Structure 1
């Protein structure tokens, strides 16, 4: 008989990625849907993109970043992401000095929520606060970066999440995608290589922030 779901969930936090993937296969084979869901949630949170095929470059994807007439090429999507984040922070420093839910919260708080708040954050004042429910990730420095303003940015993300965060950050900063900035991953297997899809997603997120700001008191 399976152990109680709460105990099972807690046990998953001690598993490696390989162990989690094997546990997921076992749950599916035994038709244990509730337990399989818990494993997938854990994989999605701790290892974003775990179910995506690896690229031929072993994860390194050449990326072009553009910001207000300046164009820079980077060997990795992560480096380009950090470059743009720093540019956005220069334009809108109050996002980090005047912390508000409708701006800082909209950009920096993770979307996966539990009863005690977000499982992780995209920006925080310490590595520990980036990984609230998976503190072990804060022990690996490659999972985060200290920005020039002293805040920390979460790097344990997939490229779609990177782009969504850039869109939200730009929306609250008065920057327009394609006009003021772009982030193009030069990989034919990358979902966001299609500029039309990037434009569509940016427009959707801009509409989202506008609706949110209209609701703010």
Structure 2
């Protein structure tokens, strides 16, 4: 069914496309195919829906991420010609997000528009924890960024890396070339997950670049 060109027909509505993309029987590969066919049909609205559903249904995580583990995570970060070292992943994450926002002041607003259901950033503390069991009473669950936005920090490394990759795409920054996030003593599994996510983000960036040329 995915192989058919129904998704390219102009009468295909965004609602029907999203309904098909959200079906439990639609696999990740199937959703990627739907997105590619929408791109071929120059249906930018459908491409945006496929991107959002793909992020929501198939987030890259490492086994539910046992992110609550204790101990420090020494991390080295770089953004263009600026480098820094931190004893915790939380501080390194905060630094790189601030750097992205320095490069593109609208990065977080754009992210929030692309992924409205994800609670990673908000202009208000109440908005960051809206509809969640957490209420923001623990200061360790969030930080206030340099631009005044609030950022959740209780997520695991893989979720944070996914957010960083998405933001870097918005800022048009390439991992390794423009920025890096290196955790000391990272496991092979962690490095492999990061590599997969970087490749996935690059494929999204290529699609967006092609859309902008059409």
Same fold (TM over 0.5): yes
- The reply to whether residue 52 of structure 1 matches residue 66 of structure 2 is yes
Cα RMSD after superposing both structures: 2.9
When residues 188 and 173 of structure 1 are mapped into structure 2, their CA distance, relative to the original with a 3 A threshold, is closer
What's the TM-score, normalizing by structure 2?
A: 0.60
Moved >4 Å (runs of 4+): 48-51
Deviation at 1:209, TM superposition (A): 4.6
Corresponding residue for residue 8 of structure 2:
none
Q: Matched residues in 1 for 2:63 and 2:91: separation?
A: 18
Q: Is the 8 A contact 1:178 1:199 kept in 2?
A: no
Q: Is the 8 A contact 2:75 2:88 kept in 1?
A: yes
Q: Is the 8 A contact 2:65 2:156 kept in 1?
A: no
Instruction: Give the alignment of 1:167-186 within 5 angstroms.
Output: 167-186=165-184
Bigger RCO of structures 1 and 2 (CA < 8 A, at least 6 apart): 2
Q: Matched residues in 2 for 1:53 and 1:121: separation?
A: 17
Q: Matched residues in 1 for 2:66 and 2:173: separation?
A: 31
When residues 70 and 128 of structure 1 are mapped into structure 2, their CA distance, relative to the original with a 3 A threshold, is same
Q: Matched residues in 2 for 1:91 and 1:132: separation?
A: 28
For structure 1, the residue ranges without an aligned partner over 5 or more in a row are: 1-47, 110-117
Corresponding residue for residue 71 of structure 1:
83
Deviation at 1:71, TM superposition (A): 2.4
Deviation at 1:129, TM superposition (A): 1.3
Instruction: Give the alignment of 1:108-123 within 5 angstroms.
Output: 109=116, 118=117, 120-123=118-121
What's the TM-score, normalizing by structure 1?
A: 0.60
Q: Matched residues in 2 for 1:203 and 1:51: separation?
A: 20
Q: Is the 8 A contact 1:49 1:158 kept in 2?
A: no
Q: Is the 8 A contact 1:167 1:206 kept in 2?
A: no
- The reply to whether residue 203 of structure 1 matches residue 211 of structure 2 is no
1:144 alignment partner, one of 118, 142, 147: 142
Corresponding residue for residue 8 of structure 1:
none
Corresponding residue for residue 61 of structure 1:
73
| Secondary structure class of the residue paired with 1:72 | strand
- The reply to whether residue 163 of structure 1 matches residue 161 of structure 2 is yes
For structure 2, the residue ranges without an aligned partner over 5 or more in a row are: 1-61
Q: Is the 8 A contact 1:168 1:206 kept in 2?
A: no
